Amino acid sequence: MRPLNLLSISIVLFLLIGCTNEKDKEINTDDPISEGSINDVTVPSGFDYKTTKTIYVKVSSSNFAGSNLITAYLSTPAGEKIKMFSGLSDENGVLNMELSVPTYIDELYISKQAAGLEFFETASIATEYVNVEFDVESELVPFEASQARKSNTCNDFIYVVNGNGEFFSINLDNDLAITDYPDLSGGSFAATYDRENNIIYYDVKGKLYSYVKETGTSTLIASLNTSSNNLNDGYPRMVINPSDGYLYIAAKEDFAIIDPSDGSVVKNARIQGISGSQNGGGDFDFSSDGTLYQVSSGGMFRMAFNSDSTIINATRISADNFPHYLTGVTIDRFDRLYASTNHSNSKLIQMDINDGSYVILRNMGRKMNDLSSFRCTEEDFAGQDADGDGVVDGFDLYPNDSTRAFESYTPGENGFGTYAFEDLYPAKGDYDFNDIIVHYRHTSVSNADNKIVEFKTKYIVKTVQSDLPSGFAFELPIHADSILSVTGSRVTAGAVTLDSKGLESGIAPEKPVVVAFDDHFALISRPGKISKSDEFEVVITFTEPIDPSSLPIGAFNPFIFINKDRTKEVHLANFPTTSKFNQSLQTDGVDDGNFKTAEGHPWAIHLPHKFHPPKEAIDITNAYSNFENFVESSGSANSNWYTDDTGNRVESKMHLDNEE
């Protein structure tokens, strides 16, 4: 049993304000400067400038429950889906998540890959608690877009016969594509496929035929002579038992075992345990473990033979009668059962042999009176789970590494978040937010049990104008004993020292600090209106896999230290300092003690987005028109103030940073 894990993923991006030296600032003369400024903004008491919210999501399944791949996306107002995480639900189909999402986001898109299908649900974020249930009504991702069943090695096929004498196949691994073959010798309502001999056997009113699909050749084997006229005149159910090579046929409660080589009767038998009203139509097939399953008007039944195979006892699996009259049944290599309905435009239905839950895959545009299947075997898929971690290679991002399987992302799989800093603290800044800009993308690498084994962050450092070299670091919410190593830090200025693990030395192990860089000047190598560094990555490896709830990104404490002075930290509003902070700084300037001025103006705001900084000395309220409304409403209005939605930006007053 897989443990129930709490995925805790936060989208947190930080922008810290200050300035290098106000007398050195050059006012941009290309655009007129509004008289408004952040100093005119009335800040509500206690406002913390957050642009994210924490929600608690529970995913459950009443249909195709079990340990399935769950993937969560942010669904933006523009229709974009931003991938956040993927992981496995527990064996009951349950997965709990703690997510920090942009406050303007009001919908999630959740997908579930189960039984070779991909389902999806959209969930409204009306409160902090969001429940998502996958049931029989859950929508299917179109086959052509789904990643749930992809194979380049072998494809499962359903073979179909009907009363018009037609024969065709359905490719289960290629968008249910249909291939037509030559017609049979007559209309048929019962057929089966013998993989060992590559032969289709089918019935035409009590006459048993063989059929070779490659040539379209049908051969009459015999007219049946069982103990039941229900069988001798034609029957709806036929399957070959791969364990003995015999045909098993039935109509209502009558049952017989037939030798396909000559049509002789091996044994006559009876079905018990299904009432007459529940035993109409339908078909049966053997699963991989040799169990016979029947689906008919009364639902799904598990069939068990007595010692001499003369009595077949049926045990009902499904709770209800089936709402459609079924004609054919077959099972694929994953033990997924497929059924067809008695329509001229037959429905193809997939069912779970464990509980009878089902989903309608598609109206096939054909009449389908019986089904059989070509099933790929293990030999066809050598190495499907190459690392043996229980996650098939098609879902495993690390198919050759048993310690890794999935990745989760903040702020998303492809985008970057932003930490942006100014460097005049503890003096008041000019609120252009453009001195030091750190783009980041966090990636949590987890194993098959959804536990984190590695935490990677990609960084790009940028600046519009800064005169003082600054470093960037963050305090972690876990003990240093949990950390095996930190690699990739850019430490060159001598402002900090690292211990043998790569953590900052001189810090208590209860709150370890990871230093990303100690001198942003040393990283900036690409000059321009926005000077920038190359991309680099810092990797944290853990001694043992840790539960995601132990590493909530929202509890990270990011900060800069200015001019190679490790004691001169600047944090987000209301965030604590580290033990190395010079406490006198909170009384020497205009900081009221929590990295906000007495008027409530912060040195730190955060938003889940790439930041396009205002031009030099242009106040953020003049570059982002709705920032003031956002602040004065305590974040309830214009929570998407930083996006490119109409009315949010004055682009002539900012540097549009469209390069990743």
Q: What pLDDT digit, counting tens, does each position of 551-566 carry?
A: 988 889 999 999 999 9
Q: Is the domain of 280 the same as that of 415?
A: no
Q: Is the domain of 519 the same as that of 628?
A: yes
Residue 323's pLDDT is 80
Residue 380's pLDDT is 63
Q: Is the domain of 648 the same as that of 587?
A: yes
**What is the average pLDDT across 445-454?**
94
Q: For residue 658, is it within any domain?
A: no
- Over residues 411-427, the pLDDT tens digits come to 877 778 888 887 889 99
Most confident by average pLDDT, 277-286, 373-382, 383-392, 405-414: 277-286
Residue 5's pLDDT is 42
Assess whether pLDDT exceeds 70 at residue 113. Answer: yes
Look up residue 440 and give its two tokens.
Answer: 């980041």
Residue 200's pLDDT is 97
Q: Is the domain of 213 the same as that of 109?
A: no
Spatial CB neighbours of 539, under 8 Å, sequence gap ≥ 6: 454, 455, 456, 457, 485, 486, 487, 488
Q: How confident is the model at residue 45 (pLDDT cuts 50, 70, 90)?
A: confident
Residue 491's pLDDT is 96
How far is the C-alpha of 15 from the C-alpha of 235, rounded, in Å? 73
- When mean pLDDT is compared across 7-16, 57-66, 242-251, 294-303, the lowest value belongs to 7-16
Domain membership of residue 342 as a residue range: 157-375
Q: For residue 151, is it within any domain?
A: no
How far is the C-alpha of 421 from the C-alpha of 605, rounded, in Å? 10
Handedness of CA 458, 49, 434, 18 (dihedral sign): negative
Q: How confident is the model at residue 85 (pLDDT cuts 50, 70, 90)?
A: confident
Helix (H, G, I), strand (E, B) or coil at 258: strand
How far is the C-alpha of 350 from the C-alpha of 331, rounded, in Å? 9
Q: Is the domain of 102 the same as that of 174?
A: no
How far is the C-alpha of 34 from the C-alpha of 653, rounded, in Å? 10
Q: Is the domain of 332 the same as that of 365?
A: yes
How far is the C-alpha of 283 from the C-alpha of 286, rounded, in Å? 11
Q: Give the count of beta carbons closer than 10 Å to the beta carbon of residue 504.
A: 23
Kindly report the pTM of this predicted structure. 0.66
Angle at 171 between CA 165 and CA 174, to 5 degrees: 150
Q: How confident is the model at residue 143 (pLDDT cuts 50, 70, 90)?
A: low
Residue 142's pLDDT is 65
- Over residues 329-388, the pLDDT tens digits come to 999 887 889 999 999 999 999 887 877 777 789 999 999 999 999 987 656 655 578 888
CATH number of the CATH domain containing 111: 2.60.40.10
Q: For residue 389, is it within any domain?
A: no
Residue 593's pLDDT is 87
Mean pLDDT (the chain) is 87
Q: Are 379 and 397 in contact (CB under 8 A)?
A: no
CATH number of the CATH domain containing 370: 2.120.10.30
Residue 23's pLDDT is 31
Q: Give the count of beta carbons closer than 10 Å to the beta carbon of residue 317.
A: 19
How far is the C-alpha of 540 from the C-alpha of 518, rounded, in Å? 18
- How many domains is the chain partitioned into structurally? 3
Residue 313's pLDDT is 95
Q: How confident is the model at residue 320 (pLDDT cuts 50, 70, 90)?
A: confident
- Over residues 154-165, the pLDDT tens digits come to 788 999 999 999
Q: Is the domain of 37 the same as that of 58?
A: no
Q: Are 452 and 643 in contact (CB under 8 A)?
A: no
Most confident by average pLDDT, 154-163, 172-181, 308-317, 477-486: 477-486
Which residue bears the tokens 């789904």?
A: 146
Q: Is the domain of 24 the same as that of 94?
A: no
Q: Is the domain of 109 the same as that of 234?
A: no
- When mean pLDDT is compared across 94-103, 243-252, 266-275, 447-456, the lowest value belongs to 94-103
